[in-house]
Structure 1
Amino acid sequence: MARQLTLDLTMPPASSRDDFLITAANRDALAMLDAPEQWPQGRLLLIGGAGSGKSHLAGFWVAEHDAFLCHGWALTPENVDEMIRPGAALVVEDAHEIGGNPAAEQGLFHLWNLVGARQGLLLVTARSAPRDWGLVLPDLRSRLDTAAQAILGPPDDALLPAVLVKLFADRQIQVSPEVVDWLALRMERDLDLARRLVAAIDRESLADRRAITRRLAAELLDKLSPADA
């Protein structure tokens, strides 16, 4: 049978606070995010692996605090002054990408200082601790090393199946609990892998007009691994 040409008709992922799945893996990080008055000097690092929920958390935090959002690689010493008003909030995403980029490092350094001077709030997301970013600017590294950190842990027994159900639902797909439970027991506890796996299952099911079964899930799980990102 000829494979069917498929179009990506995925709905945007549900990303409100109500759609965030709370378990032991992320409960403490969420509690820290919800208490900005306790952040030392108004700054917090949110750290978690790919697909751990950083962008989801940052997204509804931006909405709730009317915050400005930018990516770490876009920072420069020249553009940070206009990003934060006195008392305002700012989110810098994917700060782990700035290591070795002199302009971005200097930009985050200036922004870090401006937030304190203007009594604002700064939330910085990254996949790893600052010591692993390859930072060249010593003053920035010293400030980040002493900053408060909210850590998103790997998915636990409750989170992984719930995320799988949500990822399928985002694609308007209903999957039997048997398939979800089978996957959750056999795959690595890696939310980025879960996202790529659900996308692959969706594509394969549509292209070959196959039902989503344990057999199809197993075939695609064997082809994917966390290192394939």
Structure 2
Amino acid sequence: MAGHVHPRQLAFVLPHEESLTRDNFLEGPANAAALALIDAWPEWPSRTMLLVGPEGSGKSHLAAIWAEQSGARSTAAHALSTMDVPSALATGALVVEDLRLGAFDERALFHLLNLAREESAFLLLTSRVPPSALDVELRDLRSRLRALPVASLLPPDDQLFRALIVKYCADRQLTVDEPMVSYLASRIERSYAAARDTVALLDREALRLGRPITRALAAEVLRNP
């Protein structure tokens, strides 16, 4: 019929749960040092340790594994305040996630480090950048951060990258075969964030268009990100 308007299909993006257990952590040379640190607890070289790695590299996953082992509480670095420090250390272990340039209270973090030392508490800090890149104004905090032992997570090698694509698909209950994984792995940036974001985009587009996830759909999505 002339002038007929086709109803627009709505895509309902349902929440999906990413498993953060030890069994579901993907191991590889890129994260071996960081995983070894978590597995070695409480025999750490220091009671305060720093995990450093790019976005999506597994820092939060490792922190969740350690929190389960140690009974640690967790807080975002930007949410940490001086007043909250004593209660944050109530269990004797704390995760402080995502130290970012200019995005945390320096005095609160310095108070936390001092109190943790006094109480022999364990701290696990995470950041995308090393302490030298944080440009901290408090001189004493700057020296303390730069003295912390660091466990680094490196960019993924080919095997880990391909496994990440499979895992992110599985987290969304998507089934992909080996040729599809190879196609994606050879066409997107080899980074944790790119693997995660590409799978999320494919999932959204498949729902929006009412199509299965195929190589043809992937080609369209990667052509028009």
Would you say same fold, with TM above 0.5? yes
Is 1:184 the equivalent of 2:185?
Answer: yes
**What is residue 171 of structure 2 aligned with on the other side?**
170
**Retained in 2: the 8 A contact 1:54–1:125?**
yes
Consecutive unaligned residues in structure 2, runs of 5 or more: 1-5
Please say which structure displays the higher CA radius of gyration.
2
Q: Letter of the 2:146 partner, please give it.
A: D
Q: Distance in 2 between matches of 1:2 and 1:155?
A: 43
Q: Which residue identity lines up with residue 175 of structure 1 in the other structure?
A: V
Matched, 1:25 2:30: yes
- Larger CA deviation: 183-192 vs 41-50: 183-192
Distance, in Å, in 1 between the alignment partners of 2:65 and 2:212 is 35
CA contact (8 A) 2:26 2:163 kept: yes
Match of 1:96 in 2: 100
Contact kept? 1:160, 1:184, Cα under 8 Å = yes
Q: Please list, as runs of the form range in 1=range in 2, the aligned pairs for 1:10-89 lying within 5 A after superposition.
A: 10-85=15-90, 88-89=92-93
1:131 to partner: Cα distance = 1.6
Aligned residues: 220
Q: 1:7 to 1:109 in 2, by over 3 A?
A: same
CA 1:175 to 1:48, structure 2 compared with 1: closer, same or farther past 3 Å? same
Q: Distance in 2 between matches of 1:107 and 1:222?
A: 46
Q: For residues 114-151 of structure 1, what are the alpha-carbon distances to aligned partners after superposition, in whole Å with 9 as ceiling and x for unaligned?
A: 11111111000000011212321111110111110000
Identify which range, 215-224 or 72-81, moves more after superposition.
Answer: 215-224
- C-alpha change, 1:193 and 1:209, in structure 2 (3 Å) is same
Deviations, residues 90-122 of structure 1 (Å, cap 9, x unaligned): 10000125x265xx1111111111111111110
Shift of 1:38: 4.1
Q: What letter corresponds to residue 153 of structure 1 in structure 2? A: L
Which position in structure 2 is the counterpart of 1:7? 12
RMSD: 1.7
Task: State whether residues 77 and 103 of structure 2, in contact with CA within 8 Å, keep that contact through their aligned partners in structure 1.
Answer: no
- Cross-structure match for 1:130: 131
TM-score, with structure 1 as normaliser: 0.90
Distance in 1 of aligned mates of 2:40 and 2:184: 35
Q: Classify the secondary structure of the residue corresponding to 2:220.
A: helix
Give the Cα separation in 2 of the matches to 1:180 and 1:3. 31
Unaligned ranges ≥5, structure 1: 225-229
Q: Deviations over 1:38-97 (max 9, x none)?
A: 434401000011111111111121112110100101112221122113x71110000125
Over 4 Å off, 4+ runs: none
